[in-house]
Amino acid sequence: MKLSMNWLNSLVPYGYEPKKYIADMTMSGSKVETLDYLGAEIENVVVGRVTQMERHPDSDHLWVCQIDVGAGEDIQIITGAQNVHVGDLVPAALHDSHLPGDVHIKKGKLRGLPSNGMLCSYKELGLTEHDVPGAYEDGILILGDTLTAEELAAAVPGRDIREVLGFDDWVVDFEITPNRPDCLSMIGLARESAVTYDIKYVPETPVVRGGAGDIGEWLRVRVEEPKLCPRYTARVVKNVKIAPSPKWMRDRLRACGVRPINNIVDITNYVMLEYGQPMHSFDYACLDGAEIVVRRAREGEPMSTLDDQERKLDAEMLVIADAKKPVGIAGVMGGANSEITDGTKMVVFESANFNGTSIRLTSRRLGMRTESSGRYEMGLDSQNTLPALERACELVELLGAGEVCDGIIDIDNSGYQPTVIKFEPERINRFIGIDIPKEDMLHWFDLLGFRMDGENIVIPSWRMDVEQFADIAEEVARFYGYDNIPTTLFGGATRYTPMPRIEFDDRIRDIFYALGYSEAQTLSFSGQKILDRVLIPQDSPLRSAVVITNPLSEDMSMLRTLMLPSILDVTARNYNMKNDSLRLYELGSVYTPSETEKLPNERKILSAAAYGGVDFYDIKGAIETLADGLRIQNLSFRAKRDNPSYHPGRCAEVYCGDDYVGVFGQVHPKVLENYNVSGEIYAVELEVEALYNNRGGIVEYEPLAKFPAISRDIAVVCAEEVTAAEIEACIREGAGKLLESVHLFDVYRGAQLGDGKKSLAYTFTMRDRARSLTDEDADGAMKRILKLLASRTGAELRA
Amino acid sequence: MGMREDLERIREEALEAIDSAASEQELEPVRIRYSGKKGALTAILKMMGKLSAEERPVMGQFANEVRAQIETKLGERFETLRALALEAKLKAESLDVTMPGKAPAPGYRHPLTTTIADVRRVFESMGFQTVEGPEVELAYYNFDALNTSADHPARDPQDTFYITDDVVLRTQTSSVQIRTMQGKEPPIRVIAPGRVYRNDDLDATHSPLFHQIEGLLIDRGVRMSDLKGYLEVFAQSIFGAETRVRFRPHHFPFTEPSAEMDVSCFACGGAGCRLCKGEGWIEILGCGMVHPNVLRACDINPEVYSGFAFGMGVERIAMLRYKIDEIRKFYDNDLRFLSQFNG
């Protein structure tokens, strides 16, 4: 909502300083978006009087003018315009002046003669023909063409043109929150300003003389949908004389961003700005049957609106109709068929209250949002219709734009009852944390227009946002000043509450950072084509996803059911950006529809991906370190040959006992082709919940053994098919319960071993808590191990 | 040739050999040759018996003198050579300390996670518990229970992603407030970080997904001044002890009174600069006293209990703190971006 500070000053006079004003209003609750000086682009342009004119000796169209600019001595300005005469008052841009559009005027010579500035057209001043009715379009703006005699008298030579043409005004653009539709008006903002500056402000009550006959002879109104139109008021104006509205009105409209049209239309716009109540005017001559009916549109009913668009209406939309046809879409826009024209002789003013939701839906369905519909959507005060209507008629009389008929049509189904709230000053003080006398509160209530009725506060109709105690407390807090409220720290019982699930996530992050993995955050959206890229079969359950009904795009049309595409996408992006190696992880969610619940299951997945100097066993090691750090005891790995996204020979599933935890391995080369990656990428997807369920408890300290350990290396040669797990099992069994640890430290394949053979070398360590072990103990274990290896795997000691 | 001459010759040879040994390894055979059990001196002393009784003590004394001289000299020489050897070794081992260090490649925390962690730490230390709620949420929790009526503009599909008519991608973490209040009796102190969704295309300043942190404190007798106090502690913890806060009245459907909180610009200290657009203040969060309608929707009696709530955008705070120019940088996850957040 744009506020003209000149207009404000006429409602609530005060020596406002614009910058301080916006700061003060911000702190009392009216948020300011911008503050602009209307004449900011115009500088050093004054009123000039043409005292002398001669043709330029070297030109057949240039005029050499002597201009009185109030400086004592006339200055010479050359113009090419042909509509200037001696005695005219004109805008004169002096040497070193500025005009809109970053135009800088300096003195110079035109065909050899000096010109000390420029005479301006209205366009050069940033005006349109609506702003200066009567002015000649293709020439210099002759002030006498558009100003009244009274206005002209003030336009003395040398006066700043901004003061003469309505540019001398500050405009504040307020962001009005949805709870304060009353502030979409000059009166509403004037009231807020008045309370902010501790001024009593009561808007004037409009007075209408009337006397042009009774309205009943001319118009009947019927409201068929009282729920959608809680109140409808109308008056009739006869003997209308369409003309431009006066300059003061045009200036205010322009400051508030509304284009002046003619007196009748300008009055409706002016009242909307002043009262916040949208108004409409119909040309009475276009109404069939001397009747207005507020009804639903018929399905498919056509109508062309004021913007010359053909609209198709439906039965959900409310229209203003005459006996035969719709003449306006209620609260949104009038019809072209009843538009005010230069020939309009008689007018019906409408000031109505419509249901906000209905207007919003209509406006959305038609794809048209207007000043009017935007206001109705917020829900307007049903008690404001009548004052606004009266004000419009008062202005008609003031402007001499017509004669107002007696009588008002007022169909009131609003059932309005004022809100009454108990006044509890002590509770307000306690709630805010202040201690101020109740008289202060009562003073603010009075300024706000709140009325006291005994111990109760009666809320005015325009403050529909004030419903209960907390709302009253807010009014007190606002005008006491949020800044003046002390800062306190509520005591109460504070104690640390464990949050094991959250802290488990933190632990996972810590471990992955320590492993050299950086954290990614990817968007949770997905799409069927994204699942294609990681080769998920069409019949996979992963294809069944939470689908967004109003998605941004196909690839963001559902929530992800799988983390792999997300982490691969960012990994591939890094790869193709030539970041030479990468370890990346994300702790993100996947979403799967539930068959029984309205809401889907949201599961946290630890996903990771890496390339550059990593192999399968680095990734496996990372998972083992993670499990170790989470004190998981029962981790195991099983080869997985048929996961479509992974290399069939380099993929394993992870289990904790019987719980499935996830999958990892080298991403299938065909998948990577879809991401334009030619190298190897390894990926991990682990279910955080499964990890959490298998996590270890608090560490229980185990006393350190007093006796030293004994270690042996063992290198065996076996067939390629024999797995490390099989060899290790033999070592564990052979060493028995004295075994402390076993580590694979070398794998070798070579010509000496022969084709299809490999050598694995292990270190194993044994310890007895009760004694020092001897060589015999170790040798015995070694013998048992070799025997087991030979019988179970065919492995032999490497020579 | 007399014994004295022999001893003198041995002494001369030995001292010369000791002097010319260039290392401990060279000196050791010298020691053995002259002063060892089978060395030259011992051999001579064995011939002492052949001397006359008058000569024997004289020669014996002389021989001891020679032995002492040789052994002293040996000891000194050994010491010198050891010192030289150590010096040479240390010299040989000296490094070019300007060569690059060998660091294990570190993992970098995502700036959003760091921001959330920092905020969490502040509130957890004041007794708040961190909780999470579903991202796919019933419209009831995201809107209705938060005093946002069915025709509120925020519910428009232009702003909100819909799964069904009554299931949405949550547009605010405030939904967790309701779940918390319905799930437990006051006193309540929680913060809820998480992802929220808005129907906006991803560009420099918008994202269809971003993070918020919601906070809620409910107890008997909580005042608006407490809201100011807690959030001032928060601001000074995150933006520095010198930070000043400013509360401006605002409107949210689920708080009354409502406010927006600004902090004094941490780039210029409030003097006005590019970061704060000359205002000296930077808007950080929305907050207010929990609306009585919201408390009632959670079966909490507003006559008995009161409380405050606040919500902040994590991306916004991270962008301001780290001077990040585009919101989408958070979701590109380029290592060149991530690796800048190394502390």
Question: Parallel, antiparallel, or unpaired: how do β-strands A231-238 and A347-353 relate?
Answer: antiparallel
Instruction: Determine the CATH number of domain A500-693.
Output: 3.30.930.10
A26 and B106 in contact by Cβ < 8 A?
Answer: no
Of A7-21, A530-544, B96-110, least confident by mean pLDDT is B96-110
Q: Do B302 and A470 touch (CB under 8 A)?
A: yes
Compute the average pLDDT of residues B229-237.
Answer: 95
For B37-63, the DSSP string reads: TTSHHHHHHHGGGGS-TTHHHHHHHHH
Residues of B in contact with A488 (CB under 8 A): 223, 225-226, 228-229
Residues B115 and B158 in one domain: yes
Tell me, which fold does domain A2-38+169-196 have in CATH?
Phenylalanyl-tRNA Synthetase; Chain B, domain 1 (3.30.56)
Domain membership of residue B264 (yes or no) is yes
State the smallest CA–CA distance between residue A403 and chain B in angstroms.
41
- Interatomic CA distance for residues A20 and B263, integer angstroms: 20
Residue A129 has pLDDT above 80, yes or no: yes
Residue A493 reports pLDDT greater than 80: no
For A404-460, how does the pLDDT look when each residue is reduced to its tens digit (9 = 90+)? 999 999 999 999 999 999 999 999 999 999 999 999 999 999 999 999 999 999 999
CA A17/CA B31 separation, integer angstroms? 104
Same domain, B120 and B80: no
Structure tokens at B178: 């309701």
Residues of A in contact with B257 (CB under 8 A): 432, 470, 473-474, 477-478
Bridge-based pairing of strands A302-304 and A310-312 is antiparallel
In a domain, B203, yes or no: yes
Average pLDDT over residues B2-16: 88
What is the pairing mode between strands A456-458 and A451-453? antiparallel
Q: Which residue has the higher pLDDT, B63 or B246?
A: B246
What is the rounded CA–CA span in Å between residue A758 and residue A755? 8
Residue where one domain finishes, among candidates B65, B93, B121: B93
User: Hey, what amino acid is at A621?
Assistant: G
pLDDT digits (tens, 9 = 90+) for B158-204: 899 999 999 999 999 999 999 999 988 999 999 999 999 999 998 88
Residues B157 and B283 in one domain: yes
pLDDT higher than 70, residue B330:
yes
Identify whether B106 is part of a domain.
no
Contacts of B330 in chain A (CB under 8 A): 521
* Residue B98 domain flag: no
Compute the half-sphere exposure of residue B176: CA atoms within 13 Å on the CB side of its CA. Answer: 27
A1 DSSP 8-state letter: -
- What is the CB neighbour count within 10 angstroms for residue A447? 19
Q: Which helix (H) or strand (E) holds A529?
A: helix A528-533
Please give the average per-residue pLDDT across A571-598, as a whole number: 94
Instruction: Find the farthest-apart pair of alpha carbons in chain B and give their distance in angstroms, rounded.
Output: 135
ipTM of the complex: 0.86
Query: Distance (Å, rounded) from C-alpha B151 to C-alpha B163?
Result: 18
Q: Mean of the per-residue pLDDT values for chain B? A: 91
Provide the residue type at A421 as one letter. Answer: I
Residue A780 to residue A495: CA distance in whole angstroms: 59
Domains A2-38+169-196 and A422-484 share a fold: yes
Range of the domain at B313: 111-338
Contacts of A405 (CB under 8 A, 6+ apart): A210, A212, A213, A214, A215, A218, A235, A236, A237, A238
| Residue B99, domain member (yes or no) | no
The domain segmentation of chain A, as residue ranges, is: 2-38+169-196, 43-164, 215-412, 422-484, 500-693, 710-797
CA A428 – CA A422 distance, rounded (Å): 11
| Size (chain B), residues | 343
3-state per-residue secondary structure call for A244-265: CCCHHHHHHHHHCCCCCCCHHH
B333–A180 C-beta distance less than 8 A? no
Pick from B126, B167, B225: CB nearest A598: B167
Judge: A489–B226 Cβ closer than 8 Å, yes or no: yes
- Interchain CB distance below 8 Å, A550 and B233: no
Q: Judge if B38 and B139 occupy the same domain.
A: no
Q: What is the pLDDT of residue B157?
A: 85
Phi and psi angles of residue A177, each rounded to the nearest 5 degrees, phi first: -75, 155
Minimum-distance CB partner of B225 among A31, A432, A583: A432
The CB density around residue A180, as the number of other CB atoms within 10 Å, is 21
Do A519 and B110 lie within an 8 Å CB cutoff?
yes
- The H-or-E segment that residue A627 falls in is helix A616-629
pLDDT tens readout for residues A30-82: 999 999 999 999 999 999 999 999 999 988 889 999 999 998 899 999 998 88
Is residue B155 assigned to a domain? yes
B187 with B311, same domain? yes
Q: Among the CATH numbers 3.30.465.10, 3.60.150.10, 2.40.50.140, 3.90.600.10, which is that of A43-164?
A: 2.40.50.140
Quick: pLDDT tens for A150-190: 899 999 999 999 999 989 999 999 999 989 999 999 999 99
**CB-CB neighbours of A707 under 10 Å:** 12
Asked whether residue B50 falls in the same domain as residue B123, the answer is: no
Domain count for chain B: 2
Q: Answer whether A516 sits within 8 Å of B106, measured CB to CB.
A: yes
Percent of chain A with pLDDT over 70: 100
> How would residue B4 be classed by pLDDT, with cut points 50, 70 and 90?
confident
Chain A interface test: which of B198, B202, B248 (most A C-beta within 10 Å): B248
When CB atoms are compared, the residue of A433, A485, A550 closest to B162 is: A550
> Pairing relation of β-strands B188-197 and B209-220?
antiparallel
What pairing do the DSSP bridges indicate for beta strands A409-412 and A231-238? antiparallel
The CATH architecture that domain A422-484 belongs to is 2-Layer Sandwich (3.30)
Q: Is A405 helix (H, G, I), strand (E, B) or coil?
A: coil
Distance from CA of A519 to the nearest CA of B (A): 5
Taking the CB of residue B67, how many other CB atoms lie within 10 A of it? 21
CATH number for the region A710-797 comes to: 3.30.70.380
B66 with B209, same domain: the answer is: no
pLDDT value, residue A568? 97
Rounded CA gap, B74 and A317, in Å? 118
Confidence at residue B1, expressed as pLDDT on a 0 to 100 scale: 53
Q: Residue A32 pairs with which residues in a beta bridge?
A: A174
Residues from chain A that touch B219, judged by Cβ atoms under 8 A, are 490, 492
DSSP result, A366-404: HT---HHHHHHHT---GGGHHHHHHHHHHHHHHHT--EE
Q: Sort residue A631 into left (φ over 0), alpha (ψ -120 to 50) or beta.
A: left
Look at A488 and B225 and tell me if their CB atoms are within 8 Å: yes
Average pLDDT of span A509-531 = 96
Does the residue B253 lie in any domain?
Answer: yes
**Whole-model pTM above 0.90?**
no
Residue type, A768: D
Record: fold of A215-412: Phenylalanyl-tRNA Synthetase; Chain B, domain 3 (3.50.40)
Distance CA A354, CA A320 (A): 11
Same domain, B116 and B203: yes
In angstroms, the first-to-last Cα distance of chain B is: 86
Model pLDDT, residue A665: 97
> Positive or negative, the Cα torsion across A788, A791, A794, A799?
positive
The predicted model gives A229-244 an average pLDDT of: 96
Q: Which residue bears the tokens 């991906």?
A: A609
SS3 B314: helix
Place of tokens 């933006």: B239
Is residue A137 pLDDT above 90, yes or no? no
Question: Cα(A258)–Cα(A270) distance, rounded to whole angstroms?
Answer: 9
Q: How far apart are CA A177 and CA B251, in angstroms?
A: 6
Residue % of chain A over a pLDDT of 90: 88
DSSP-based helix, strand, coil % in chain B, nearest 5: 45, 20, 35
Confidence of residue B45 (pLDDT cuts 50, 70, 90): confident
Cβ contact (<8 Å) for A470 and B292?
A: yes
Burial (CB count within 10 angstroms: exposed 0-12, middle 13-18, buried 19+), residue A716: buried
Within a domain: residue B209? yes
For residues B224 and A429, give the distance between their C-alpha atoms in angstroms, rounded to a whole number.
10
- Is the bond preceding B187 in cis, omega lying within 30 degrees of 0? yes
For testing the chain A interface, which of B140, B223, B340 should be mutated: the one with the most A CBs within 10 Å? B223
* Distance, CA of A318 to CA of A636 (rounded, Å): 69
Helix runs in A433-495, H state only: 438-448, 469-480
Q: What is the pLDDT of residue A232?
A: 97
At residue B343, does pLDDT exceed 80?
Answer: no
Asked whether the beta carbons of residue B208 and residue A523 sit closer than 8 angstroms, the reply is yes
B86 shares its domain with B116: no
Looking at residue A446, its pLDDT comes to 97
Q: How far is A356 from chain B (nearest CA, A)?
A: 9
Q: Which residue of A has its CA nearest to B120?
A: A502
- Do residues A572 and A677 touch, judged by C-beta distance below 8 A? yes
Of residues B161, B189, B223, nearest to A550 (C-beta): B161
> Residue A776 is encoded by which pair of tokens?
């015999």
